[in-house]
Amino acid sequence: MAGAWWAITERTSRRTVGIIAGLAGVAIIGGALALVLTGAERLLIGLGIAVVLLACATACARFAVLPDLHALDAERVARPPSKAVLICNPRSGDGKVGKFGIIAAAAELGVRTIVLEAGDDLEQLARDAVADGADCLGMAGGDGSQALVASVAVEHDLPFVCVSTGTRNHFALDLGLDRDDPVSTLRAFADGVERRVDYATVNDRLFVNNVSLGVYATVVAQESYRADKARTAASMLPELLGRDARPFDLQFTTPAGDEVDGAFVILVSNNPYATSFSPDAATRHRLDTGRLGVIAVSSATGADAVALMTLSAIGLRRSSPFWHEFTARAFEIRSRGGRADAGIDGEAVQLDTPLVFRSHPKGLRLLVPAGNRAVAARRQARDVHVRTLVQIAAGRTPGSPCR
């Protein structure tokens, strides 16, 4: 862990030493595991049986708390819009709009398309579409574009269609949409169902995924970041996190009343992210909790960071005083300088402080393909906690108070 920290925050020879130390640590752990497992056939068989039993138990637990999927499959189709408009960014996701034939597919469904050209004001295009009588707005692009067009849809109480043609499409992923087949999402214009999810705002600006402050926001604000992300980050991290780095001018108060100053990572998300070590890590199981998720790291020295990284590696990061994780309906971040760099759904901006975050429960009307609500329910069923299972085993309804 110490080697990994040096590799990130130091330069030249110290960075090299850190990389070597990290690799040596991995080799030692791997060698120890190899020695334990060599010749231990019974151990491997027992371990395999345990994994199978654990998988069966997890599947049964998820089924026990899963809503009635048959009822969800019979969901009522919404009245299709008569003047739907889809704005397309042809440059997003290395040209996915063209690769998947989004414009032609939309035309077959009777959806008018607007192609975003260089220099166009995306928000103004959406407003012009509403002024021309659009009764549904859609966006084929990345998360930042999705949020901007969704804000216009919210303002006019119109349904919104998310077509995932960006690079990562985190919003579509957490909605349970098929990111590998964005054309399938276009069916929402013709025979979709309405689904209400939360959106969040920071100083009244809407976001659908998250707002990042500290290291990430500072790095993405650099002009060189778009051209070479890895090199820009590698050159800046020692300056931002090294021994001579100045604390970030960011302060906030936790729901427990603790004052935190100088956190170098702050992530405020529209609904909390899963932070456990699982295939669902860094995704959101739900988008309708009405809560913001907040994660912050405030270690002040390299030793503090190493301690936190070590605890994280064994799943005990929440016991560290430098790890802050909680949910809230509203949240505020302050700064003494009156301004803060931020990354809003991946877009670099600078905002006046204090930054006031709010969750807007079920404020976004989505049109999604039929069956998406069932997919969302299956995703939610993955979020099974030990406390829930204990309540079920004791014959109580999950979420009921213990007596």
Average pLDDT of span 321-342? 94
pLDDT at 279: 63
| Residue extent(s) of CATH 2.60.200.40 domains in the chain | 210-360
DSSP string for residues in 313-367:
HTT-GGGSTTEEEEEESEEEEE-SSSEEEEEETTEEEEEESSEEEEEEEEEEEEE
Q: For residues 284 and 176, give the distance between their C-alpha atoms in angstroms, rounded to a whole number.
A: 10
Position 30 pLDDT exceeds 60: yes
| Residue extent(s) of CATH 3.40.50.10330 domains in the chain | 84-191
0.85 surpassed by pTM = no
Q: Coil, strand, or helix at residue 213? A: strand
User: Per CATH, the architecture of 210-360 is what?
Assistant: Sandwich (2.60)
The CA angle 378-207-157, to the nearest 5 degrees, is 85
Position 52 pLDDT exceeds 50: yes
Kindly report, residue by residue over 131-163, the tens digit of the pLDDT.
999 999 999 999 999 999 999 999 999 999 999
Q: Which residues of 93-128 are buried (b: 16+ CB within 10 A; e: fewer)?
A: beebbeebebbebbeeeebebbebeeeeebeebbbe
Average pLDDT of span 224-232? 72
Average pLDDT of span 82-102? 95
Residues in a beta bridge with 85: 112, 137
pLDDT at 150: 97
Q: What proportion of the chain, given as a percentage, has pLDDT over 70? A: 77
| Most confident of the ranges 71-80, 163-172, 320-329, 359-368 | 359-368
Average pLDDT of span 247-253? 93
Residue that wins the pLDDT comparison between 207 and 28: 207
Tell me the residue type at 33. L
Q: For residues 376 and 176, give the distance between their C-alpha atoms in angstroms, rounded to a whole number.
A: 6
Q: Which CATH superfamily is domain 84-191 in?
A: Probable inorganic polyphosphate/atp-NAD kinase; domain 1 (3.40.50.10330)
- What are the tokens at 332? 């505020």
pLDDT at 401: 47
Nearest Cα residue to 265 out of 307, 229, 221, 218: 218
Position 183 pLDDT exceeds 90: yes
Position 66 pLDDT exceeds 60: no
Kindly report, residue by residue over 283-326, the tens digit of the pLDDT.
898 999 999 999 999 876 666 776 777 777 667 777 888 899 99
Tell me the residue type at 208. V
